[in-house]
Amino acid sequence: MAAEQAAEQATDTYGITAPYGDELNDDVTRWDRAAEFPHEKWKPLQRSGLFTLPFAPEYGGAGRTLTETMAALEGLGHTSRDAGLNFSASTQIVSVGIPLQAFGSAELRERYLPQVTSGQAITAHAITEASHGSDVMNIRTTAVREGDEYVINGGKLFITNAPVADLFLLYVRTGKPGAFGLSTFLAERSTPGLTIGEPLETMGLRTSPISEVTLKDVRLPVANRLGSEGAGFLIMDYVMKREVLFSFAVNLGEMTHRLKRVVEHATTRQQFGSAIGKNQAVAHKIADMRIAVETARKWLYDTGRKVEQGTDASLDVAATKILVSEANQRTAQDAIQIFGARGYLTDTGIERELRNAAAGSIYSGTNEIQRNCIAALMGL
C-alpha cells in the first residue's frame, strides 16, 4: 500500500533517527484515562531530533524544509498512538520556534531557539480568549508601552501545552481593533503576573494539556517583542499556515495507520463463512477511507509546497484544513463501525481515535471560519 509505505518511510527519511515507537505507545490508554501529559515520552521525542527539523543549524536545528518536516510529522502520526502527545509535539515546533526564527531578533533567537530545538523548553502560543476565539481581530488582551517595557493585562483560554509550557508567545493588542493593532511578545513561565490555570478536562487529545493563562500587570521589555509593533497579525498568519500543515500532517499519519488496521481486521474477521471485507458494504467504506487518505496527502503536500515557495496559499490552507480534519473524523467513525462492538471498547483504542479527531474541526480556526475565508477569497 503506497500510503502506508510513505508514512512508514517518512520517519527515517527526514531526520528522525531514534526508533521510538514502543516508548511512545506504552500505556496509551492509561495516560488517556488519567488525562496527564506524559513527560517520560517527551524524552524519546527529544532524542529523535523531531524538534530540530525546520530550524537553522546555528540554533541546534537540522535545517530541513517545511515539507520535509511535514513528512516527519506524518511519520510520527503513523508510529505513535498517543494523539495528544503528537499534537503537543507539533505545537512545540510551530508555536514559538517558527515565529521566533522568522521574526525574532538575533538576541532572542540566540537565547531561546536552542531551548526549543532541543525540547528542553516546552512551548505554547496564547491566542484564543474567552470572548474572542476565531475573532482574532478583536483580541482584548492589551499591552501598553511604558518606556522600555510593555505592561500586559488580559487573559487567554484553551491554550495548548500551557500547563507544562516554559515559553509563551503572547498575541496582544497594542493598537486599535483590526489587523494592524496586534503585537507579539515572548514570555517565560516565571514572568511575574503570568498565571497558568489548572488543566481543563477535554473529550479527546487528553494527554495534550490545555488551560487558561491570566496576565495581570505582566511587564516585558521591548526586546521581547517579535517584529515591529502592529505586526502581530502578519506573524499569526505566517504561523497558522504552518500550524495547519504540521498538525494535519500528523493526522494524515494517524489516518494511514487507521486504514492499515482496518484492512487487517476486515481480512481476518470472519462472519457468515467469509472475511467481512468480502461484504460490499464494508469494502466500500474501506475504499472510501483509502480515497480520503490519498486526497488528504495530495492536498497537504501540494499546499505545503506552495507555502514553501512563497506562493499565496490562503485558500489552499483553508481547504486543506477542512478536508483533512473532516476526513479524519469520518474515517475514525467508519473504523468504529467496521470493528463493531470491539471498536466501541476503550481498550482497542478505536473509540479514542474518534474522540481525538473531533477537535480537528475546531482548533487552528474552526471549519466554519475556514469556509468563510474561502468564500471571501472567491469574492462572495
**What is the set of active-site residues?**
243
DSSP 242-281: HHHHHHHHHHHHHHHHHHHHHHHHHHH-EETTEEGGGSHH
Which of 259, 262, 268, 263 has its CA nearest to residue 290?
Answer: 259
Calculate the CA dihedral of residues 356, 359, 360, 362 and round it to 10 degrees: 180
Residue 272 CB coordination number (10 Å)? 7
**334 vs 312: CA distance, rounded Å:** 35
Terminal Cα distance for the chain, rounded? 41
- H/E segment holding residue 227: none
How are beta strands 167-173 and 182-188 bridged, if at all? antiparallel
Residue 40 CB coordination number (10 Å)? 11
Query: Is 306 in contact with 313 (CB distance < 8 Å)?
Result: yes
Which of 253, 350, 244 has its CA nearest to residue 307?
Answer: 244
**225 vs 213: CA distance, rounded Å:** 19
Query: Is 65 in contact with 54 (CB distance < 8 Å)?
Result: yes
Give the cell for residue 245: 500543515
Residues in Cβ contact with 356 at an 8 Å cutoff, skipping those fewer than 6 apart: 83, 84, 204, 205, 254, 332
Dihedral angle sign, alpha carbons of residues 224, 226, 227, 233: negative
Cβ-count burial 242-264 (b if 16+ within 10 Å, e if not): bbbbbbbbbbbbbbbbbbbbbbe
Give the cell for residue 105: 531578533
Residue whose grid cell is 505545537: 91
